[in-house]
Structure 1
Amino acid sequence: MESRIASLFRGADLADAYAVSIPNDDIRDINALAQSVLGQPERWFRALLSLRDAIMTCFGVKTSRQIRDRQEREGGGHIDFFPILSASDHEIVVGEDDQHLNFRTSLMLRGGLRAPDRELVVTTIVHCHNGLGRLYLSAISPIHRLVVRSSLRKAMTRAL
């Protein structure tokens, strides 16, 4: 099974994937998993996101609140401030396009029918458009990795 964002790997400025084993045979709902990973961020992440929004506003970059408000106004599906771009029984893709970069994140259930053979894979791909995008990406990449791993661990702990 291939992710819907697989075609975006070529030329990406960031492409990463993290996977965790699914700990329970009853966990089959990609919507619930995506909500658990993206929809309930830690307080420290919220604080960093507020700082990011305050800084990036100076450069005309969309804030998380602006993205969320637009989705709610237009009736688009979203998880927290992440717009849902596509959804299937096994994968949800969120993402946003802005002047400095475009990003896509896939949350995909992969593997067999039983828990030890199944995993949740979170893949992120970023394409920068300019120097601001590359500078931004270099600053947030270490935090991105920490957030994804922490969110996956927390989601799987909740799932037990």
Structure 2
Amino acid sequence: MPSELTLVKPVALPTQSAVATVYESTNLADAFAVQLPFGASSDPEVLWRFLISQQPSWIGWLTNARDAIVACFGLKTAKHLATLSSEANADRIGIFKVYAKSETEIVLGEDDKHLDFRLSVLHTPDLSPTLGGQLTVSTVVHCHNLLGRAYILVIAPFHRQVVKASLRRAAHIGWPKAAAR
């Protein structure tokens, strides 16, 4: 049975998140949260970098399969986006463009011809002195056309499993510690 610190739960899109109102209409909006332990970092960028560096290996296989399919439609692939990260002026983390950063949230995403998406990594403090706050990963998608809507219809169940599995694995491994001040 998962402990409170590894339990990933679906939650409402946080109203304080920058992605809550980024699009006038959305074709997908979801959020998943996990409790952080006392002493864990509260820096959303540190938490995001850790989260994506610890993903289960099957996510890489799924990404490769996705890339093979979407390349046929002229859509951006993860491989292409990864090359953008190596450019000197690129404000990216892995395949994701960074749109905004604050002490409590980092907003990442990408725009393409079929859809635009934003992903929020939000840390909210906890009132309990024995816990390290809550980490919420939220995704919102705005589709431009039928291709985007069809894509989301197919990809949404995989997306949700990827987010939940990534959060569970990071919690199981142990979140990075807060930087000493």
> Given the two structures, how large is their TM-score scaled by the length of structure 1?
0.90
Deviation at 1:80, TM superposition (A): 2.2
- Cα distance, 1:112 vs. partner? 3.0
What is the aligned partner in structure 2 of residue 79 from structure 1? 93
Letter in 1 for 2:115: L
Q: 2:140 aligns with which of 111, 114, 125?
A: 125
Distance 1:25 1:7, change over 3 A: same
Are 1:140 and 2:140 an aligned pair?
no
Structure 2 residue 18 is the aligned partner of structure 1 residue 18: no
Mean CA deviation greater in 63-72 or 46-55: 63-72
The residue that corresponds to 1:154 in the other structure is 169
2:55 touches 2:170 (CA, 8 Å); kept in 1? no
Cα distance, 1:40 vs. partner?
Answer: 3.3
The separation in 1 between residues aligned to 2:132 and 2:53, in whole angstroms, is: 25
The range that moved more, 111-120 or 88-97, is 111-120
Compute the RMSD of aligned alpha carbons.
1.9
Distance of aligned partners of 1:52 and 1:115 in 2 relative to their CA distance in 1, 3 Å threshold: farther
- 1:46-94 C-alpha deviation (Å, 9 max, x unpaired): 1111111111111110111111212322522322211222111111111
Percent identity between the two aligned chains: 38
Higher helix fraction (1 or 2): 1
Query: How far does residue 37 in structure 1 lie from its aligned partner after superposition?
Result: 1.6
Letter in 2 for 1:80: G
| SS, match of residue 29 in structure 2 | strand
Which 5+ residue runs of structure 2 have no aligned equivalent?
1-14, 176-181
Structure 1 gaps, min length 5? none
Partner amino acid, structure 2, of 1:12: T
Q: 1:41 touches 1:151 (CA, 8 Å); kept in 2?
A: yes
The secondary structure found in structure 2 opposite 1:66 is helix
Task: Verify: 1:90 aligned to 2:104, yes or no.
Answer: yes
Instruction: Give the Cα separation in 1 of the matches to 2:132 and 2:38.
Output: 11
Scaled by the length of structure 2, the TM-score of the pair is 0.81
What is the rounded CA distance, in whole Å, between the counterparts of 1:126 and 1:42 in structure 2? 24
Secondary structure at 2:42 match in 1: coil
CA distance in 1, matches of 2:154, 2:71: 16
Report the equivalent of 1:53: 67
Q: Aligned partners of 1:77 and 1:40: how far apart in 2?
A: 21
